[in-house]
A and B are shown apart, each in its own frame.
Chain A
Amino acid sequence: MLVNHKFIAFETIVIKEVRRFSRIWVQTLVPPAITIGLYFVIFGNLVGRRIGEMGGFQYMEFIVPGLIMMSVIQNSYSNVVSSFFSHKFQRSVEELLVSPVPNYIILTGFVAGGMARGLAVGMIVTTMSLFFADLHIENPLITVAVVLMTSIVFSLAGFINAVFANNFDDISIIPTFVLTPLIYLGGVFYSIQLLPPFWQLVSAINPIFYMVNAFRYGILGSSDVDVYWAFLILAVFIAVLYSGCIWMLRHSTGIRA
């Protein structure tokens, strides 16, 4: 397949993905905006006023980066897992499999679709946060790099979940029982300094903790971890998950008899 043909195929997958989540915007874009809006009102505004400062910032300011990152993670993941599983379920994945689109273009297209939704929701949440806090981005480059790499990681993870899923229950187990606890324990609402030493150690093995803190560093200029560790972890996760996805596509795992 020629390079320009590959680009057209990639573009086609991305357009299809963006069209899919835009068509059902009431299910894909509105609910996260409402949920995060409630976090801002209840935790940030009502409870946050009593908490005062966290990590040297007003509590509302402190939680904004974490909440943006939470929405990016959840939506990147859920877009790819639900879309690719729907393709499998409706057998429309066969359209792709009989076509000459290389595996890496299929994967990159779905990941780009996941990133598009994650970033779209992230933008909505960021815009909403402006009503509650003064947002100044200290390190724009780090902020953008972290959010892009994080959305890639969770789009790839969503793809793996979709490949192994056999029914609709299988696509909600990981987000409910793995992703949500990791996000909530990943320092979105508190600084790790508040935890006893043992739980600080436990937090250190949660990869989302590094992503949230690196993003917070990008926006506020303050973090519980060294931002370079976060980049290293993100890069390793991208490499491992991408290789795993390509291996599964090459070996037809979950998609061919």
Chain B
Amino acid sequence: MTIAISIKDLRKTYANGFEALKGISLEVKEGDFFALLGPNGAGKSTTIGVISTLINKSGGSVEVFGRNVDTHVYETKLDFGVVPQEVNFSQFEKVQDIVMTQAGYYGLPRKLAKERCEKYLKKLGLWEKRSDRSRSLSGGMKRRLMIARALVHEPRLLILDEPTAGVDIELRRSMWKFLTAINDNGTTIILTTHYLEEAEQLCKNIAIIDEGNIIVDTNMKKLLAELDSQVYILDSQEEIARSPVVELENVNVRSIDSHSFEVTVAGGRSINEVFALLDQQGIQISSMRNKTNRLEELFLSRLNDN
């Protein structure tokens, strides 16, 4: 399979002496939906800045679809689109002009640029706003505009730096749907996010970066399988007189209130076994959720280990 991004021994030391990247190596396969996670200041945005040539690296190499970004500047830039963390378009320009201008930078003829502009503004729900000045857009619309702008030249690789930060839940979910669809159509996506639920929902592979080092680089399913125990909150439609009796090894049940209780399942036990016992006691469960995000638990434990 083609490698979309290959990073080798990437280093970045800023002018003030801060060492943001300490020789990281990473590979992202074509078609992947890849999460790059890490706490604030870990080096996520620096990594993305170096890949997208907005930040000069201090050492190492970056290849995009097999081509070195230093020696094949123009070819590699055609292959990726970038959605930065901060809004970086002119606040005085119209929505349509921002996308059309970006298309022009990539050499798209005007007719094709217009078609693409319409296509992506419609897909991202901004077509009605096309003649508005960008400063009048809401925060969520500005983020969607940056995605439309990054996609106008239809890159093979889309790099998103916290695309849903500060976006409401409804909009976030519609963006997830959109990103999943373009990934299904073959676009490789690299995503940094603070919403671990987002990474868990969307991404196939994951790397965690901390203090300029990659501390985890694995498959999302494999990583989640490493969880020793999971804590669920179960809600019952009817009032529960007393705490349910679940006599299973490695399973612990604790009552929260008259309708809810907490179940901790560990040691390879399945939650289905708990459901079966509850059913025998006549307790009907109406809803179930994880007490904490599974990836969040792993993320915190890995950071603590590091």
A98 with B52, Cβ < 8 A, contacts A90-B91, A257-B14 known: yes
Chain A residues with CB under 8 Å of B15's CB are 257
Chain A residues with CB under 8 Å of B89's CB are 90, 92, 95
A100's contact among B54, B56, B73, by CB below 8 Å, is which?
B73
Q: Is the CB of A23 within 8 A of B101?
A: no
**B interface, over-half SS:** loop
Chain A residues with CB under 8 Å of B49's CB are 257
Q: Is B78 located at the chain interface by the 8 A CB criterion?
A: yes
- Quick one: closest A residue to B87, CB to CB? A91
Q: Is the CB of B101 within 8 A of A94?
A: no
Q: In the complex the two chains form, what is the Cα distance from A90 to B93 in whole Å?
A: 12
Q: Is the CB of B88 within 8 A of A257?
A: no
Q: In the complex the two chains form, what is the Cα distance from A183 to B55 in whole Å?
A: 39
Distance from B151 Cβ to chain A, minimum over Cβ atoms (Å): 13
Distance from B76 Cβ to chain A, minimum over Cβ atoms (Å): 8
Interface members, chain B 84-142 (any A CB < 8 Å)? 84, 86-92, 97, 101-102, 104-110
Q: Is the CB of B74 within 8 A of A1?
A: yes
Chain A residues with CB under 8 Å of B78's CB are 100
Q: Is the CB of B90 within 8 A of A98?
A: no
A91 with B86, Cβ < 8 A, contacts A252-B56, A256-B54 known: yes
Chain A residues with CB under 8 Å of B258's CB are none
Q: Is B82 located at the chain interface by the 8 A CB criterion?
A: yes
Q: Is B77 located at the chain interface by the 8 A CB criterion?
A: yes
Distance from B155 Cβ to chain A, minimum over Cβ atoms (Å): 10
Q: Is A136 located at the chain interface by the 8 A CB criterion?
A: no
Q: Is B149 located at the chain interface by the 8 A CB criterion?
A: yes
B interface, size bucket: 35 or more
Q: Is A179 located at the chain interface by the 8 A CB criterion?
A: no
Q: Is B292 located at the chain interface by the 8 A CB criterion?
A: no
A5 with B106, Cβ < 8 A, contacts A257-B49, A257-B56 known: yes
Which of A9-17, A167-175, A200-208, A230-238 sits within the interface? A9-17
Chain B residues with CB under 8 Å of A257's CB are 14-15, 49, 54-56
Q: Is B281 located at the chain interface by the 8 A CB criterion?
A: no
Chain B residues with CB under 8 Å of A101's CB are 105
B109's contact among A8, A15, A20, by CB below 8 Å, is which?
A8
Q: Give A83-100 as 1s and 0s: 1 = Cβ < 8 Å from B's Cβ atoms.
A: 000110011101111111
Q: In the complex the two chains form, what is the Cα distance from A101 to B49 in whole Å?
A: 17
B55's contact among A23, A90, A102, A256, by CB below 8 Å, is which?
A256
- Quick one: closest A residue to B159, CB to CB? A98
A95 with B55, Cβ < 8 A, contacts A11-B104, A257-B14 known: no
A95 with B91, Cβ < 8 A, contacts A9-B104, A100-B74 known: no
**A interface, over-half SS:** helix
Q: Is the CB of A16 within 8 A of B101?
A: yes
Q: Is the CB of A92 within 8 A of B104?
A: no
Distance from B280 Cβ to chain A, minimum over Cβ atoms (Å): 61
Q: Is the CB of B90 within 8 A of A9?
A: no
Q: In the complex the two chains form, what is the Cα distance from A171 to B78 in whole Å?
A: 33
Q: Is A27 located at the chain interface by the 8 A CB criterion?
A: no
Q: Is the CB of B54 within 8 A of A98?
A: yes
Chain B residues with CB under 8 Å of A5's CB are 106-107
- Quick one: closest B residue to A96, CB to CB? B105
Interface members, chain A 72-127 (any B CB < 8 Å)? 86-87, 90-92, 94-102
Q: Is B53 located at the chain interface by the 8 A CB criterion?
A: yes
Chain A residues with CB under 8 Å of B90's CB are 86-87, 90, 92
Q: Is the CB of B88 within 8 A of A99?
A: no
Chain A residues with CB under 8 Å of B88's CB are 90-92, 94-95
Chain B residues with CB under 8 Å of A99's CB are 77, 102, 105-106
Given contacts A98-B54, A257-B49, 6 further A-B contacts (CB under 8 A): A1-B107, A94-B54, A95-B105, A98-B80, A98-B81, A100-B107
16 cross-chain CB contacts under 8 A: A2-B107, A5-B107, A9-B106, A12-B101, A12-B104, A86-B90, A87-B90, A90-B88, A92-B88, A95-B102, A98-B81, A99-B102, A99-B106, A102-B74, A256-B54, A256-B56
